[in-house]
Amino acid sequence: VQPLPRQPRISREQVLEATLALAEERGLEAVSMRAVAARLEVTPMSLYHHVRNKQDLLDGLVERLLTELPIPDPSLPWDQRLAELAGSLRALAARHPDAFLMLLRRPADTPGALRAREAVYGALRDAGAPAELIPRLERLLSTFMIGFAASESGGRFALHDREALDGDLDWARSLITAALAGIR
């Protein structure tokens, strides 16, 4: 006997959309399978046809955020591109402090992660870094930028005002520029 085809009521897209909206409105802690389902006016169990489980739901959310990260215009000077990337990461972390931390908990091999990495690779190439050192440099740079944005949004830097943190990054930028000049 053939199973009856049925019009899908919701898609994975819609599930992630609802997850994002919920996280934006009430924070990540309010994101539960049941709450997402309620927002879609559907039974909790219905979600399991579109995501494997809650972890997969959260993974999908993080990947979505990463994909929406603004990538700087490649025609800009390389150091400005890095600075803009750092700024975008800070803005993303500020909007989603909890979800941002999950960047540290998944392999950086998703399309969204690749996209961001390529942007850093390009900047480093234009900075004149030797090709064989670029992946390593990218790892160090991204780790610092993500760690900084996570510290700021997570509250680790709560004692420091925005101005001091801006100064930290400006100074880091000059140190990095000097280091890159030393390598080249």
Rg (CA), the chain: 20
User: Within 10 A of 83 (CB to CB), how many other CB atoms are there?
Assistant: 18
Q: CB under 5 to 8 A by kind: which of DNA, a copy of itself, none does 136 bind?
A: a copy of itself
In the Cβ-directed half-sphere of 87, how many Cα atoms lie within 13 Å?
13
Reading the block at residue 24, the tokens are 């934006």
- Looking at residues 10 to 49 of the shown chain, list those that interact with DNA (rule: CB under 7 A): 10, 31-35, 42-46, 48-49
Should residue 102 be labelled a site residue for DNA when binding is judged by CB under 7 A?
no
Structure letter (DSSP) for residue 71: P
**C-alpha distances out from residue 113 to 16, 66, 116, 124, Å:** 18, 7, 5, 17
Residue the block writes with tokens 């004149």: 128
Site string for a copy of itself, 1-20 (x = CB under 8 A): --------------------
Q: CB under 5 to 8 A by kind: which of DNA, a copy of itself, none does 106 bind?
A: a copy of itself
Q: CB under 5 to 8 A by kind: which of DNA, a copy of itself, none does 10 bind?
A: DNA
Reading the block at residue 146, the tokens are 């993500």
Binding site for a copy of itself (CB under 8 A): 97, 101, 103-109, 136, 139-140, 143-144, 146-148, 150-151, 154-160, 167-168, 171-172, 175, 178-179, 182
Binding site for DNA (CB under 7 A): 3-6, 8-10, 31-35, 42-46, 48-50, 53-55
